[in-house]
Structure 1
Amino acid sequence: MEKVGSADGTSIAYQRSGAGAPLVLVHGTGGTYSRWAPIVPALEKHFTVYAVDRRGRGESGDATAYTIEREFEDVAALVKAIGEPANLFGHSFGGICSLEAALYAQHVSRLVLYEPPIPVASVQIYPEGIIDRLQALLDAGDREGLLTTFMSEVVRMLPHEIELSKSMPAWPARVAAAHTLPRELRAHEGYCFDPERFKSLSIPTLLLVGGESPHFFKEAIDTLRQTLPDSRVVILPGQQHIAMETAPDLLVREVLAFLLGPAM
């Protein structure tokens, strides 16, 4: 893997493949760059794909203190290092990182956000005490239990979806990175989304949401639709939060139609 230095000096690793305009892939909580494996072969036919390992996992470095802002800077550092306008595709927590990085980097051509959990007033994402319970599982050394509990109780994934994720080649790397999960959730709880900061963000943006996803993802997408001036929503019928695994062809089709299509 190749690496780039972030603003705080942390080394951020990424896997580069394909040829064409740059496309940076930013995975979500409990993931690694390998989470994109089911769709990278289709994407790299059209783009130079940069699949990032976010800080604290894989070959990426980490820092003693963790803040959500460092994650934004990590993505922005890679975009800047590419040296030409790049497309950004962020999933879940990686969607928030990508959105914020678009403000930091100012070299983003188009933006794809798949269910970023933007905080919405009066909408509860986390069940009472869940982060403490996840931390307890980590402290007990039960990384797989931590990950599956997060998937079932926070993301509200169905049992068959969890089993599908566990069967994927990326699963061992996800379990190995599970220690990053509680800190991200705590940082996300403290994250304040200010729509005014993004009102002038004129980057063409595709907002993806599963037709069967939990309501808080749908509320987040609606908030972004009302906030971002050049955005549109595409519903992935029959899907929830992991279409890269449950419907990779559908996901690729919508992403390519947006990234390769005319300006909105």
Structure 2
Amino acid sequence: MSTTTDTTHAVLSQDGAKISYLSMGSGPSVLVLPGALSMAADYAAFASALAEHFTVHIIERRGRGLSSPQGDDYSILKEREDVLALQQGVARNNPLLTKIAVYEPGVSIDGSIPMHWMPGYEKKLAEKNYLDAFVEFSLAVGPERARNTSPWLMKLLLPLFLNSHERKLMLGLLPENLREHQEVARLDSSYENYREIPADVLLMYGGKSNVTWVDMSMERLAAVLPRSETKEFPKLDHFGIDKRAPREVAKAVSVYFLK
């Protein structure tokens, strides 16, 4: 029986930045990368389920927890360097990523992920109106059914979806969220580059996400990735992997990785 006790460690990235990570379990190494507005601890339940078969390492991305800030020169290349540093630190004897699983990856195609919210969002951040900035972002990129919600109503509804601790953590990541989405915008429609990925890739999405860009990215990525499978979770939405049903998603990932 493997242990799922988590411990915190750190590696140094190429530019000297400290990258913290949580580890649990035993077996082959699996690296977990949280999404936007998320921290390593948000994926603890998902990682704990994976840890029944693997040694799981959840990276604490830049600007979060004990990791270094993003810095003015932040880019996707920094994220890549951080992952490579962690891979070198925890999987030195297995330098290649042989299997990858992604849940609704933020891949924008022909402007499918809206970016018109950025100027207003940035202005609200500068004015320290963090809740208003979050509402602006949520209404722009959230599910289709929520986009016609009035901002004032969304602010009233937020406590129903996020407790005070979750709101505090999420609002604290709003500057990082902006930089990360600026990179998504810069890399719009560059998905053809993923043809070069030799690893097996499991593309996962929630059937109740109701977001146009998810459907488009699943279709286009499946077409360009040389070795991929697609799995739908009919009852889940965008938060299936971390909030709704982490064990269900982890089970599918474990089965895929153990094949």
* TM-score bracket relative to the smaller structure: 0.7 to 0.9
Range 54-63 or range 139-148, more displaced: 139-148
Match of 1:43 among 35, 42, 50: 50
Change beyond 3 A, Cα 1:85–1:170: farther
State the distance in 2 between where 1:168 and 1:234 align: 33
Change beyond 3 A, Cα 1:127–1:78: closer
Change beyond 3 A, Cα 1:16–1:132: same
Match of 2:175 among 171, 175, 179: 179
Asked if structure 1 preserves the Cα contact closer than 8 Å seen for 2:120 and 2:136, the reply is no
Range 12-21 or range 194-203, more displaced: 194-203
State the distance in 2 between where 1:198 and 1:251 align: 23
Amino acid at match of 1:125: I
Shift of 1:204: 1.1
Matched position secondary structure for 1:235: strand
Counterpart residue number, 2:221: 224
Residues 69-148 of structure 1 aligned to structure 2 (within 5 Å): 69-84=77-92, 107-121=96-110, 123-126=111-114, 128=116, 130-148=117-135
Range 242-251 or range 170-179, more displaced: 170-179
Shift of 1:215: 1.6
Q: Is 1:154 aligned with 2:161?
A: no
Amino acid at match of 2:228: S
Amino acid at match of 1:226: A
Change beyond 3 A, Cα 1:12–1:149: same
Give the TM-score taking structure 2 as reference length: 0.82
Change beyond 3 A, Cα 1:168–1:255: farther
State the distance in 1 between where 2:182 and 2:175 align: 13
Which stretches in structure 1 are left out of the alignment for 5+ residues? 87-105
State the distance in 2 between where 1:134 and 1:79 align: 34
Q: Is 1:54 aligned with 2:61?
A: yes
Match of 2:236 among 234, 239, 251: 239
Q: Is 1:197 aligned with 2:193?
A: yes
Change beyond 3 A, Cα 1:241–1:162: farther
Range 39-48 or range 108-117, more displaced: 39-48
Amino acid at match of 2:199: I
Change beyond 3 A, Cα 1:137–1:2: same
Asked if structure 1 preserves the Cα contact closer than 8 Å seen for 2:27 and 2:55, the reply is yes
Which string of whole-angstrom CA distances, capped at 9 and with x for unpartnered residues, describes residues 171-209 of structure 1? 533332222111111121111454553324221110001
Asked if structure 2 preserves the Cα contact closer than 8 Å seen for 1:68 and 1:187, the reply is yes
Shift of 1:29: 1.1
Which string of whole-angstrom CA distances, capped at 9 and with x for unpartnered residues, describes residues 67-97 of structure 1? 22211221122112223466xxxxxxxxxxx
Larger Rg: 2
Aligned residues with identical type, % of pairs: 23
Shift of 1:114: 0.9
Which stretches in structure 2 are left out of the alignment for 5+ residues? 1-7, 147-153
Matched position secondary structure for 1:49: strand
State the distance in 1 between where 2:104 and 2:177 align: 17
State the distance in 1 between where 2:244 and 2:176 align: 24
